[in-house]
Amino acid sequence: MSKSFYSKVTVLSGIGFLMIFLLSACAELGPATLKGERNNYNIAVQRTNDEQLLLNLVRLKYRDTPLFLEVSSVASQFTLKTDASVNAELPDTGLNIFKFGGGATYQERPTVTYSPLQGDKFIKRVLSPVPIETLSLLYHSGWSIERILQLCLQRMDSLKNAPGASGPTPKKAPQFEKFARVIKSFRTLQTRGVLEVALGARHGVPRLVLQISPRARDWTEVQELSSYLGTPPGQTQYFLSKQKADDPGHIQVVTRSLLGIMFYLSQSVEAPESHIKSGKVTTTRLESGEKFDWSLVTGNLLRIRSQSNAPSTASVAIYYRDHWFYVEDSDLNSKSTFSLLAQIFALQAGDIKDVSPMLTLPIGG
């Protein structure tokens, strides 16, 4: 056979090899892309959700208007471009020399759609008191009874949990000490395995049932509960309800709204001294005129620090009003409260389907 015939066979074989290679690369693109990109998008959405939550807590500290943008959808289009080439050099003598070339490139074109959470339905859910059922759900999800009650309740009978902090920072120091001791006692009983919590009802009204084991009847914590709540000594059963009743152990509670919880936690924002002096945030004072330390109220829940330089060890941080506000990565207590707040937000506002105009951003080139 002629050399030209072998040349053609060689060219076709080379091109065939290149096409198989490029097609195999195309086949691997989808799984490889899913493996590499899904986690990246997951991390980005989670991080920006935390940053938005932190931003709105800081806004409330400064009495600025909060705003929430929900990531409605994330779509990403991948385009694969391939090419193949063959160059031949045909000398007068000797074998034919062929040079094969090829390549494959792909482009990602992500599109993110945002929708603002607003409208009457969203506002009503944000301003509505947290249901008793939510307290039970959170407890049985593994959260501390102390953390749940401190966040979600602003009153237990006559015991106040800084009710004024459910709105803009008050000027007068709040009452909270006796309430804090009561929920601390419940937490101690929980950690020692003698407290059971269940959801019940009385005349169709839901109530949270806190049952203490009879073997703990004479414990100091149980006696303290009876003393602060005005129940008979050794009371081992308590009913938390929004309805007033005369049953032994019944406690009428007032729950916070989602916005009230966020205002309450915004008191943990440590504003820069320059902002305090210039009157950009409210300074709460004792009757003596001395400055009140809000860490006495929220210090065991959340601490949001601030500094002029970008923090290097932050779990979540945002830049606002020329300063960085952040939660320290090693502050596990604050991170737990932040996670709980995110869950309460999802429970209170997660089922709202907003119908307002959406913002779609094509991020890819």
Q: Please name the residue ranges forming H helices in the chain.
A: 3-61, 120-127, 132-139, 145-152, 177-191, 220-229, 258-266, 273-277, 295-298, 332-349
Lowest-pLDDT choice from 79-83, 170-174, 216-220, 333-337: 79-83
Task: List all residues 6 or more positions away from 188 whose beta carbon is below 8 Å from its beta carbon.
Answer: 221
Q: Is the pLDDT of residue 351 over 70?
A: no
β-pair partners for 279: none
Matching residue, tokens 């990246």:
40
Please, which pLDDT band fits residue 11 given cuts at 50, 70 and 90?
A: very low
The whole-angstrom separation of Cα 267 and Cα 55 is 14
pLDDT in the model for residue 223: 95
pTM of the predicted model, to two decimals? 0.79
Please, which pLDDT band fits residue 349 given cuts at 50, 70 and 90?
A: confident
- Which of the two residues, 269 and 11, has the higher pLDDT score? 269
pLDDT in the model for residue 257: 95
For 230, phi then psi, to 5°, come to: 70, 35
Q: Is the pLDDT of residue 263 over 90?
A: yes
Q: Is the pLDDT of residue 5 over 50?
A: no
Matching residue, tokens 């005369």:
246
**Mean pLDDT computed over 133-159:** 96
pLDDT in the model for residue 239: 96
CA 320 to chain centre: 19
pLDDT in the model for residue 9: 46
The whole-angstrom separation of Cα 340 and Cα 151 is 9
CA distances from 242 to 196, 207, 291, 304 (A): 20, 8, 34, 32
Answer whether 146's CB lies under 8 Å from 183's CB. Answer: yes
Q: Please state, rounded to an integer, the average pLDDT across all residues of the chain.
A: 83
Angle, CA of 315, 277 and 50, to the nearest 5°: 20
pLDDT in the model for residue 4: 55
Q: What is the pLDDT of residues 101-142, one digit of tens each?
A: 555 565 666 676 766 767 677 788 888 999 999 999 999 999
pLDDT in the model for residue 255: 97
For 327, phi then psi, to 5°, come to: -110, 125
The whole-angstrom separation of Cα 318 and Cα 311 is 10
